Amino acid sequence: MTGRTVTLGNMTAATKAATKGAVRPAARMMPTDTTTPGTMAALVAERRAADDSVYLLLNPLADCAPEHGLSLASLTKVLGADALTTVARPDLAHSPKACPVLVRLAGCGDVPAPELMGLAQRLAQADAARRRRYVCGCLLSPLDGQTLADHVAARCMDFSADSPRGMSPWFEPLRLELLAASIHAETLGPLMWPIRTWLLPSSWGSLAMVNGFQRSTGIDVGIGVGRIGAELPALARQTQRDAPLIAQLLSAWRRSLQLPLPYAPGRWQGPSLLRPQAAAQAFRWIRQAREAGLSDTRDIIVLALHQAAIHPRLLDYEPLRLALASAAPGGASTVLAAYGDHAWHRIATHLDQVGSPP
């Protein structure tokens, strides 16, 4: 994996600022280089408490070859059936083989096998461009497998996009990344606990980290089904509702980086798959597009791709914003195609300067 490990933070303020034009990072960078093969193992050793077990959370709905060392069949042979625990995802209770699986790599006092940790990191990297990830994360927790599985399953209800009866597969890396970016750490930490640390593959191709902790008052949110909907901000629920669209936009964004574009000053050229905080940035662009009057998925995505390639604040250029707002659904491509490279250059230059519109 490229880039650095990130402790995911809050994007509420950043999102508000972004709708006014500013784009700010949604998380704090940590100085851990994820290009080294032992990074996941090193982070586990660094974050693990004496009473923590080490788990992998795997998603059978994603692809993993039967002969791969992290397939459920392979792990059962190596670790034993008692090391694997099904997470009874509420909407898939009728199909347990499709539910996520917690794999205990090491119990309290034991060291996880380096080869399994290496396989997990490499597979997470290989899956970086896929919409559905097999490795959902590496978890540190003092809980036993069944209790932890119950906790993860219960939060599917608590973190749903629709309260009070919805559910969200929040354990999927993209969804968890969005939750961590839209909920203050002081709120999310106790909801994650007793998961001390969750290492997850991020939308931009690096490892990210979400930390849980007990409330300072000593009052525990509790394990299992305990509705916490009142604590979940509307912004967080919206991220879960928009997760499929965000995934679609991220996929289109990755593909666009392979296309030859004569004028693309904003195109990402860094070492990671996408720019850091890619999912949070995609969510901001979706919100901005809707605030500008766009509702068609095609329009939202094509506008976001232009923002990614040319300038993140294209909607600050009033003639363009008005033209997009007045176009028929599905017409954004036509509006944007009317601007040639020279026009885009003038607009981008204007947006970077203080002065009259070009």
Give the model's pLDDT for residue 28: 33
Query: Could you read off the pLDDT of 132-171 as tens digits, one per residue?
Result: 999 999 999 999 999 999 999 999 988 987 755 678 999 9
User: pTM for the whole thing?
Assistant: 0.86
Query: What is the layout of strands, in order, in the sheet containing 53-58?
Result: 27-33, 4-8, 207-211, 197-201, 135-141, 53-58, 101-106, 84-86
> In which residue ranges of the chain is pLDDT below 70?
1-38, 163-165, 216-231, 354-358
Within this chain, do residues 49 and 176 fall inside the same structural domain, yes or no? yes
Give the model's pLDDT for residue 39: 86
Within this chain, do residues 60 and 194 fall inside the same structural domain, yes or no? yes
Give the model's pLDDT for residue 7: 66
Within this chain, do residues 78 and 144 fall inside the same structural domain, yes or no? yes
Query: Could you read off the pLDDT of 187-239 as tens digits, one per residue?
Result: 899 999 999 999 999 999 999 999 999 886 544 555 554 555 456 889 999 99
Give the model's pLDDT for residue 173: 96
Give the model's pLDDT for residue 228: 55
| Residue at which a domain ends, from 206, 232, 258 | 232
Number of domains within the chain: 2
Q: 251 lies in which domain range?
A: 243-351
| Residue at which a domain ends, from 178, 212, 232 | 232
Give the model's pLDDT for residue 162: 76
Give the model's pLDDT for residue 224: 53
List beta partners, residue 139.
55, 198
